[in-house]
Amino acid sequence: MKDTLRKLCEAYGPSGNEGQVRDLIRSEIEGLADSVRVDALGNLIAVKGSGGHRVMLAAHMDEIGVIITHIDENGFLRFAPVGGVWTLGLSGRRVAFADGTIGAIGLEKLDDRDRVPAMAKFYIDIGASKKDEVHLKVGDMAVMTRPFVTNGGRWIGKAMDNRAGCAVLIETMRRLKAPKHEVAFVFTTQEEVGLRGATTSAFGLDPEIAVAVDVTGTGDTPKAAPMAVSLGEGAAIKVRDGGMLAHLGVKDLLVQRAEENGIAYQLEVLEGGTTDGRAIQTSRAGVPTGVVSVPTRYIHSPSEMIDERDAEACASLLVVLLENDITL
Residue 191 is among the residues annotated as catalytic for this protein:
yes
Q: How many residues bind Zn ion (CB under 5 A)?
A: 3
43 vs 162 by CB, closer to Zn ion: 162
- CA dist 118 and 104 (Å) reads 17
Cα dihedral: 192, 195, 201, 202 (round 10): 140
Helices 308-322 and 160-175 pack at an angle, to 10 degrees, of 50
Q: What is the DSSP string of 244-271?
A: -B--HHHHHHHHHHHHHTT--EEEEE-S
Nearest approach in angstroms of CB 161 to Co ion is: 4
State which of residues 161, 182, 241, 276 lies at the interface with Co ion (CB under 5 A): 161
**β-strand partners of 79:** 68
Nearest approach in angstroms of CB 14 to Zn ion is: 13
Which one of 40-48, 143-151, 157-165, 281-289 is the stretch in contact with Co ion (CB under 5 A)? 157-165
- CA dist 296 and 293 (Å) reads 9
Q: What is the DSSP string of 281-303?
A: HTSTT---EEEEEEE-BSTTSTT
**Contact partner at residue 200 from Co ion, Zn ion, none, CB < 5 to 8 Å by partner kind:** none
Catalytic residue of the set 182, 191, 233, 304: 191
268 binds Zn ion (CB under 5 A): no
Cα dihedral: 16, 317, 326, 269 (round 10): -70
- CA dist 144 and 9 (Å) reads 11
Q: Which string of x and - marks every residue 224-253 that binds Co ion (by CB under 5 A)?
A: ------------------------------
State which of residues 17, 162, 281, 293 lies at the interface with Zn ion (CB under 5 A): 162
214 binds Zn ion (CB under 5 A): yes
161 vs 171 by CB, closer to Zn ion: 161
Q: How many residues bind Co ion (CB under 5 A)?
A: 1
State which of residues 18, 28, 62, 161 lies at the interface with Zn ion (CB under 5 A): 161
18 binds Zn ion (CB under 5 A): no
Active site members: 191
